[in-house]
Amino acid sequence: MTEDKELEKIREKKTQELLRIAEQRKRRMEELKEAEEAPKSVEEKDKLALMQFFLVPEAYEYWIQLYESSDKKQTAETIFKNVLYMIKIGFMEGKQVTRIGIKKLERDIEGIPPSITIKRKGEKKRSVK
């Protein structure tokens, strides 16, 4: 009898924990949805000013190149949304994104895997994956 009660308490505790985790995921998804919707209300000049403030000059120039190119415009928009989300959650406080950071975001968005190229004297280049 006591084992059944203990087992029931454990089940109830586990159920409460799962409900709490589900609620956290739901809130996280709502935050992501709000972050995606927020850029729609941002005007073009505000978007450029915001990116100029939070990117180092070299990274801003690279982002502008992406933004102005026709085939990479969607990637640049997604990078903007990611930077806006990082601002919202407080990650960007006192920080600026570098060109390497923008390139990493671009590669992540486009699904390009990381690669390492090795070049030694007398050998041709070879990629390591």
Same domain, 8 and 62: no
Per the structure, the count of domains in the chain is 2
Provide the residue count of the chain. 129
Task: Specify the pTM.
Answer: 0.57
Same domain, 66 and 111: yes
Same domain, 53 and 108: yes
- 105: how many CB neighbours lie within 10 A of its CB? 19
Same domain, 94 and 117: yes
| Domain with 117 in it | 43-129
Identity of the residue numbered 2: T
Q: Residue 41 above 60 pLDDT?
A: no
Mind listing the pLDDT tens digit for each residue in 76-113? Answer: 999 999 988 888 888 878 888 899 999 998 999 888 88
Same domain, 60 and 18: no
Same domain, 12 and 56: no
Same domain, 69 and 21: no
Is 117 exposed, middle or buried (CB count within 10 Å of its CB: 0-12, 13-18, 19+)? exposed
Q: Are 46 and 84 in contact (CB under 8 A)?
A: no
Q: Residue 40 above 90 pLDDT?
A: no
